Amino acid sequence: MIKKGIVLSGGHGTRMSPLTKSVNKQLLPIYDKPIIYYSLSILMMAKIKDILIIVNKGQTKSYKKLLPNGKNLGIKIKYKEQSYPKGLPDAFILGKKFIAKNNVALILGDNFFYGNLLKAKLQKSSRLKNGAEVFLHKVKNPHLFGVAKINSKNEIIGIKEKPKKKYSNLAITGLYFFDSKVVELSKKLKPSRRGEIEITDLLKIYLKKKELYATSSGKGTNWFDAGSIDDYYKTNKFVSSIEHNKKKKIACLEEIALKNKWISKKNIKASIKFYGNCSYSNYLKKLI
């Protein structure tokens, strides 16, 4: 069972500039909650309680105002600052002490997932023992993503970055599960032409060893890369529509924690006091 999780919330957020010039992208709102709530909720649904959030240099204080240490959610939250973006696998190098000899999950802070079967898929993936597993999602525009080709056993047999010719319509999302070897393998990676170590190169190492597996997000699951301005507003619209129609909140961290039996209704009351008079608090009141 994977017990450690990392949320990568660094980066310059240039795709959303000038919105991100004064505030970290993951602290921007998607409907009534900051983006970080959505990525954090994915790890919590996977029953991962020990979490490291990697942020830009000097931004820890801003995050701690919102998510101090996770105690209110029955989890542990630690922070690590990244001096500048060095590529996704740098999360494992920065988190070496946090990961220790454990397997680990990684989610990009701007990734959004929603689906009825999602919780079961996450908990299945969190049982990874060896190798690596990635979440894949069918897309209409595979030339914009890194994509993977799979066989009948859900084993990945090939990866291509932004293919110009038809190769696969399964995009590699920003949700990964790795064994403990990921730290040492990440250290061996060499920077690409753009000066960063690449997640694709890391995945190809596992692919070569035939230890790279796939989980399809499945029919009925929605995935957005909320780090681009168009998808950011699409995600806002989607969350607003779902929450109004179903009268249920997506990524309500306290609700997930309560269902996992990590907190009690006493903690919910404390959260209501923390948030103050708002629609999110009104929803929490329904839980008690």
| pLDDT tens track, the chain, 288 positions | 899 999 999 776 567 677 666 677 888 889 999 999 999 999 999 999 999 999 999 999 999 999 999 999 999 999 999 988 899 999 999 999 999 999 999 999 999 999 989 999 999 999 999 999 999 999 999 999 999 999 988 889 999 999 998 899 999 999 999 999 999 999 999 999 989 999 999 999 999 999 999 998 878 899 998 878 888 999 999 999 999 999 999 999 999 999 999 999 999 999 999 999 999 999 999 999
Q: Quickly tell me which residue has 């006091």 as its tokens.
A: 273
Q: What gap in Å lies between CA 177 and CA 30, rounded to an integer? A: 25
What fold is seen in the domain 4-131+175-211+218-251? Spore Coat Polysaccharide Biosynthesis Protein SpsA; Chain A (3.90.550)
Q: What gap in Å lies between CA 42 and CA 126, rounded to an integer? A: 11
**Looking at residue 10, what is its pLDDT?**
79
Q: What gap in Å lies between CA 109 and CA 241, rounded to an integer? A: 22
Contact 79, 94 (CB under 8 A): no
**Looking at residue 133, what is its pLDDT?**
96
Contact 219, 253 (CB under 8 A): no
**Looking at residue 13, what is its pLDDT?**
57
Q: What gap in Å lies between CA 59 and CA 81, rounded to an integer? A: 8
pTM > 0.85: yes or no: yes
Region of residue 86 (left: phi > 0; alpha: psi -120 to 50; beta: else): alpha
Q: What gap in Å lies between CA 211 and CA 243, rounded to an integer? A: 39
